[in-house]
Structure 1
């Protein structure tokens, strides 16, 4: 077994009551290994080699077409693996081995039979579930209108088999990060972990390889560590449509939830807003009855909840780690997308923690950037603040920058910014006016965005096109917000008067009174008199 599986087995037996010495004897390991396994479900990471392409990849579609054509061919005149292998070599010049073809056909042939709808019918046996013992997990796709655009998201569902209590979460993808974060949210909401098995599809987030049609699976190392941490016992359904009935409860739950809460299509500004709505819908569904049951979902869950296993106290890092290098554009590649970081990090490697809905960038354990995760592939997300240092030196690059365009689309660069910028260019010129605007944008690192916009508006009304004036008015707006009494003399229209005090006058007004006497130059006058006297004597000597 792998090291991750060894750790998981040691932790499981330790929870069952085995001592450390017994674990050493059972698994033939040292005390140090047992101690490490009990301290952490995740062993020291090993560098994995990238997956290698095979010579069969270009011919998979050819084999699929042969297998589909065999569905209508006479039973005794269908392709064997040997015949398929010979056709690939003779007709397509494929350089593949017989074993590669046999392995692919063995797994693909039943899938094509299911896809065609010709799989044989099966009989089903009703099951009774014990409270607190079993659960089912699955993803389902949903369509939402996010910021005015129709996008496809993924609904994670964790359903307890006895009570029917389900917890949902919407993510931009159904990758491993979403899979883990959905589990963490569901287990915290339910307050415990099922005692027996949790049923799963053969998701790539959990299963690295399906070994034939039986229950044997090669699980991913991160998933082994995750379920070992929470004490989850996994049970995998049969591949394809044949195994869908083995977790029919969650399949039906996703359909019910989608029909009742996602019709009509929700219009939201962010996934966080949508997930707040999903939490409320989960609470509402607790009052419904499933089929002909005499009690509601919430009443059955009240019986089941105390029987769940307790959650571990230590958190589990659900994010995926990456260490990309910052390119000359101040961007880093993460999966299929690119994100900006401060321009000062060009050429350095940074650490990225990728979550289901966002990512965080660290430079030597200091957070330097945080982005909402992009949904589309091949997209770029830039933060205007990351490029301000270089734009101060190159103001000509500011008007056409992609970061400026994205800031406008996100509402961070407002019409007030544009109006102040236009006026500054008229007064100071194109270059200096743009540089003044960039200096104003740098204020956003120390002042809230709304206060900077208020300072821009006041400075624009007063005709003060300097960054110092905007900074002063922004601080006045912040002070007015923290001290409500300062706005008592505001006009009835609610607008502040367009008066801008220079920073020099503002500093002088806040200095303590100076009680020192005025300086005197009398002593210096005496020096000047002596100089004239000595100069006169010298002139008299010259005259004689």
Structure 2
């Protein structure tokens, strides 16, 4: 079908006394088509007057579409079962032309931000060559919406701890805080709700209050709202990660920071400016960082195992051997593991970034060659010294107890010291006979014997004084 411009050209050439044959040769169309346009005498494209093949089935299509959950393949199968002879392209073209089952197209639009108004944050999975292996990582990115200053780091996982570590690094990189941080309804920050109804996790809300910003989330399906931070992910994958390999996590994130410095100092055609130059003006509108920014950390309580290690995220960190069986407090930061027994005893390790089941031992915790490690269970020696009659039960308890061996031995030692000897030995003997190694039940058995033997009640009213 000829367009309106072609029909106009035919009429103009005809008005200039150009022959029909010459018009057809110049425009590369048939003479019959030229004659039809000349007979109509109008440049307007005529409307199609023929009926569409799907018109007789329009109502049936409208009824079947919701029943088939919008699947046009199923709609075509049902129409064919009722005797209709249609092709799939004819059905889909008919639905497109008449807007059947089609969401109305809405213009994308554009968001404008004033300096210091908003910073957008999001994450995306990528693959990197790390330590000679192909690894999956989580790329966390932050962008200032006005100047388009970019900062990103990569992590093995991305939990709330990692989110706070990243945001602190981003705010230090920008040396200021925007009024709000826009997120993508991530469960790391969101407690419940989406969009304007989003309620952040109290932990993350308190973190935002410390720096003076607030978290906001875009509405579901409104991808343009977070376009400032979504767009650089493709650039990171195709530029920064392409053809690069990294020795370890520290090398990876140092190169990422250097790459951000270089990219932020590069002219951007879509901005017609350099982000670093726009940032000089935006920085004046950012809220200054607090005078003191504490290091982000996680606290754990652990029991030192019989080999002299403390386990954090499957990795085992050494402590002095005389801490075996003691309860310690572990402070985990982005780069360190601090294990504290009390105010005067502290051990610091370099943190292993991922769950790798490594054993990390400091040189001072390694016993000298030829020196035997101390007995991991001094409680066992005390038990055998105080009550040698229960030696067999102690040996079986070490094999079958569901508690940590050191905790079970300590509980049994306390029971031996606190309760009378005869009820205790009788209860332990009965527990050993039935293979009972639940010390809480054994203790109740002791208490029943103690109550029966030592706290007899006189229920005879005649003998009452």
Asked whether 1:205 is paired with 2:188, we answer yes
* Counterpart residue number, 1:177: 161
Q: How does 1:513-524 map to 2 (within 5 A)?
A: none
* Counterpart residue number, 1:326: 304
Q: CA 1:271–1:332 in 2, change beyond 3 Å: closer, same or farther?
A: same
| Contact preservation (8 Å) 2:334, 2:351 | no
Give the distance between the partners of 1:336 and 1:160, measured in 2 at CA: 37
Runs of 4+ in 1 over 6 A off after TM superposition: 118-121
Give the distance between the partners of 1:386 and 1:235, measured in 2 at CA: 49
Deviation, structure 1 residue 214 = 4.7
Q: How does 1:370-449 map to 2 (within 5 A)?
A: 370-376=349-355, 379-383=357-361, 385=363, 387-389=365-367, 392-394=370-372
| Contact preservation (8 Å) 1:339, 1:371 | no
Deviation, structure 1 residue 274 = 2.2
Give the distance between the partners of 1:293 and 1:308, measured in 2 at CA: 20
User: CA deviation digits over 1:289-341, x for unaligned, max 9?
Assistant: 33432211111111111111111112234111111111212222324544333
* Counterpart residue number, 1:351: 329
User: CA deviation digits over 1:498-537, x for unaligned, max 9?
Assistant: xxxxxxxxxxxxxxxxxxxxxxxxxxxxxxxxxxxxxxxx
Give the distance between the partners of 1:388 and 1:280, measured in 2 at CA: 39
* Counterpart residue number, 1:232: 213
Q: How does 1:60-459 map to 2 (within 5 A)?
A: 75-76=66-67, 123-194=107-178, 196-208=179-191, 210-211=192-193, 213-239=194-220, 242-268=221-247, 270-365=248-343, 366-376=345-355, 379-383=357-361, 385=363, 387-389=365-367, 392-394=370-372
| Contact preservation (8 Å) 1:171, 1:356 | no
SS of residue in 2 equivalent to 1:248: helix
Q: CA 1:274–1:199 in 2, change beyond 3 Å: closer, same or farther?
A: same
RMSD over equivalenced CA pairs, Å: 2.7
Give the distance between the partners of 2:341 and 2:152, measured in 1 at CA: 34
User: CA deviation digits over 1:461-486, x for unaligned, max 9?
Assistant: xxxxxxxxxxxxxxxxxxxxxxxxxx
| Contact preservation (8 Å) 1:138, 1:156 | yes
Q: CA 1:375–1:175 in 2, change beyond 3 Å: closer, same or farther?
A: same
Give the distance between the partners of 1:386 and 1:120, measured in 2 at CA: 70
Deviation, structure 1 residue 206 = 1.6
Give the distance between the partners of 2:368 and 2:310, measured in 1 at CA: 18
| Contact preservation (8 Å) 1:172, 1:357 | no
TM-score of the superposed pair, with normalisation by structure 1: 0.47
| Contact preservation (8 Å) 1:144, 1:153 | yes
Q: CA 1:173–1:214 in 2, change beyond 3 Å: closer, same or farther?
A: closer
Give the distance between the partners of 1:234 and 1:197, measured in 2 at CA: 6
| Rg larger in structure | 2
Q: How does 1:15-34 map to 2 (within 5 A)?
A: none
User: CA deviation digits over 1:399-431, x for unaligned, max 9?
Assistant: xxxxxxxxxxxxxxxxxxxxxxxxxxxxxxxxx
Deviation, structure 1 residue 353 = 1.7
TM-score of the superposed pair, with normalisation by structure 2: 0.54
SS of residue in 1 equivalent to 2:278: helix
5+ long unaligned stretches in structure 1: 1-72, 79-117, 396-544
Give the distance between the partners of 2:337 and 2:223, measured in 1 at CA: 33
| Contact preservation (8 Å) 2:195, 2:218 | no
Deviation, structure 1 residue 161 = 0.3
* Counterpart residue number, 2:57: none
| Contact preservation (8 Å) 1:169, 1:275 | yes
Q: CA 1:381–1:237 in 2, change beyond 3 Å: closer, same or farther?
A: farther
SS of residue in 1 equivalent to 2:273: coil
Deviation, structure 1 residue 263 = 0.7
SS of residue in 2 equivalent to 1:393: coil
Deviation, structure 1 residue 157 = 1.3
* Counterpart residue number, 1:468: none
5+ long unaligned stretches in structure 2: 1-63, 70-101, 374-465
SS of residue in 2 equivalent to 1:157: strand
